Structure 1
Amino acid sequence: MGALRADSAEEWAHVISQSLVPLSLANMCASFRGSVEQTVLLPGVSVTDVRTEGHSSVLRTPRLTRAEPRDDYLFSLHLGGAGVGLQDEREAVLLPGAGALFDATRPYRLNFPADSREIVLQIPRRPLRDRVEGIDELSGRTLPAHHPAARVLAAFLRELAGVAQDLAPEQRAELGCTTIDLLATALRATVGGEPSAPRGRQALLQAMRSCVLENLTDPAFTPTVLARRQGISPRYAADLFAESGTSPAAYLRDQRLKAAHRALTDPRQSHRTIAGIAAQSGFTDRTTFTRAFVRRYGTTPSDLRAGGRPG
């Protein structure tokens, strides 16, 4: 899209809403100025360098979420000045190097008391939801600047925002996939602090989920094998998964389908055959894989790959 500049609050409302998601303004400085420079990496995935002069406040109001819905996450990496983000009664303090995730399907507010700069990464919700369990609890929380995973993400986004306009389309697409993976890694590692250690049934269920993720590529890995490795009966394993609304077989199948979906939408894996991706995801039969994929995503693997959508 290139650079756009606004010399008033009214112009800024138009620029920011067209570039990111529809927003309302409040408490704007009379001498406010702002600019955005945006690059689309993949369909629905963009990186935007946002700079403002003067205090400002932008809101994603309940009315806007209903009237102009957007099925996106926006991750804000703060580079200059200070700010505060609020969503779901959580407050993210934004200092240079820190970041926060916001869900455009729900109201949120960003306050900047002085000049500021941030890099905003916009991503459809599904790719992140497939990668980060419990992501609904992560919006409006500070991703601290000191954490190693956050530092890697911040360095990558700074450099990407600076060179994205000069990259070839296929390079942007590859880096778009990398960006999603890096953000997911940082969110899993840092947002919300260290969770308390799970105990009892919760700990066992978490151990089984981890075991599934470690064995997705093994077609011989079944719910029975999963239960045996945890030293419990298949029935007890089924009872534990039922508490979270699923079953061992459904969870295993869903994780394999997610792995296949990520591979099919990754330009770096475009050389791989669909049959090869299915096999690497733990499916031994192409027909079974295709039927399950269509039920899960509403499209065939070949149509998804042809469309080039990120998910």
Structure 2
Amino acid sequence: MGALRANSAEEWAEVLGESLVPLTLTNMSTAFHGSVEQTVLLPGVSVADIRTHGHSTVLRTDRLTRAEPRESYLFSLHLGGDGIGLQNEREAVLQPGTGALFDATRPYRLHFPADSREVVLQVPRRPLRDRVDDIDELSSRALPVEDAAWRVFAAFLRELADVSKELAPEQRAELGRTTIDLLATALRAAARGEPTAPTGRQALLRAMRCCVMDNLADPAFTPSALARHQGISLRYAADVFAEAGTSPAMFIRDQRLKAAYQVLADPRQSHRTIAVVAAHSGFADRTTFTRAFVRQYGMTPADLRAGSRSR
């Protein structure tokens, strides 16, 4: 299939549902656009080059797993930008060169705070479950970049995505079977070398961070709202963040400022006024935003934008 393109949340949901699995979208940039170029290797096995521009969050909700079941795994090789994946109370920090597995039969969340690129391999669940013991413990866990088996698989998958359109059908099928074997080898290596999944307060901290990223644009999303989302007291939320050297309020503010900075530094977003950027980053008014921005970065939003335009 040719590249599928989208310029809105509705179009992106349709593209992802057609090429991968049905997903719900939230916290989308107003200037968001994305593309998916997918090649089917075998029935149920495909590789897709996915590129997005602007921040976005996609959810495989519990309702969708019941209404739109898919017996497949999705393996994401992250190539550009940063991202966060969350499934089974485990968080995978996605940076260029890392990869993580997600089970389409269970809810998960992916958040991309800026432009991103990833290669996504979709495979049926059964072949992997037959090859990898305790595979349920590997979902949403970043594969160790220092592992030799992972480096071999990552290089193979990236090259496969680049040349898949040029392959004959029988070559695609043969390489599809090879891909499953190589992925299983990389996952088995990860199972031997990965630390125990975070639990307790560590898992709660990661869940709260993801919750913040999902609600950045809402000015009413305060530390108290965060605590309510998690079903805990504000004091307990503050204690958990304190162990990480920050506070709920500081973390929310810092992430909002970071999101605004990325938009203001992007010449392609110059049509958006500073007031609009502030509002979409969760600030109630431009004055409060400007003061916080200057404290954080030592320059005004207008100075940053002017510097970006002159490059």
Q: Please classify the TM superposition score into its range, dividing by the shorter chain length.
A: 0.5 to 0.7
**Which amino acid in 1 is paired with 2:92?**
A
Secondary structure class of the residue paired with 2:93: strand
Whether contact under 8 Å (1:97, 1:145) holds in the other structure is yes
CA distance in 1, matches of 2:194, 2:53: 36
1:186 aligned partner: 186
Q: 1:52 — aligned with what?
A: 52
TM-score, normalised to structure 1, is 0.62
**Deviation (angstroms), 1:192:** 7.1
Distance 1:68 1:88 in 2: 19
Match of 1:71 in 2: 71
SS of corresponding position for 1:91: strand
Distance 1:6 1:173 in 2: 29
Question: Against the structure 1 CA distance between its residues 191 and 2, is the aligned structure 2 distance closer, same or farther, given a 3 Å change threshold?
Answer: farther
2:3 is paired with a residue of what secondary structure?
strand
| CA distance in 2: counterparts of 1:150 and 1:23, whole angstroms | 28
CA distance in 2, matches of 1:58, 1:109: 6
Aligned with 2:4: secondary structure?
strand
Match of 2:172 in 1: 172
Structure 1 residue 193, shift from structure 2 partner = 3.1
- Residue 238 of structure 2 corresponds to none
1 CA distance for matches of 2:44 and 2:7? Answer: 27
Count of residues paired in the alignment: 196
Contact 2:47 2:121 in 1 (8 A): yes
Q: Whose Rg is larger?
A: 1
Alignment-mate amino acid for residue 146 of structure 2: H
SS in 2 for 1:142: coil
Corresponding residue for residue 33 of structure 2: 33
Q: Provide the secondary structure at the position in 1 that maps to 2:184.
A: helix
State the distance in 1 between where 2:140 and 2:193 align: 13
Deviation at 1:8, TM superposition (A): 1.4
- Measure how far apart 1:146 and its partner are: 2.4
Tell me the amino acid that sits aligned with residue 169 of structure 1: P
Confirm or deny that 1:7 pairs with 2:25.
no
- Structure 2 spans left out of the alignment, 5+ residues: 197-311
Is 2:146 aligned against 1:146?
Answer: yes
Q: TM-score, normalised by structure 2?
A: 0.62
Paired AA for residue 126 in structure 1: R
Q: Say what the alpha-carbon RMSD is for the aligned residues.
A: 1.2
Paired AA for residue 102 in structure 1: F
Alpha-carbon distance in structure 2 between the residues aligned to 1:56 and 1:194: 28
Q: 1:19-43 CA deviation, whole Å, 9 max, x = no partner?
A: 1000000100000010000000000
Contact preservation (8 Å) 1:132, 1:184: yes
CA distance in 2, matches of 1:134, 1:182: 17
Q: Following TM superposition, by how much is the alpha carbon of 1:144 offset from its aligned partner in structure 2, in angstroms?
A: 2.3
Indicate the residue corresponding to 2:22 in structure 1. Answer: 22
Detail structure 1 runs of 4+ shifted over 2 Å in the superposition.
191-196
1:89 & 1:6 partners in 2: Cα distance? 30
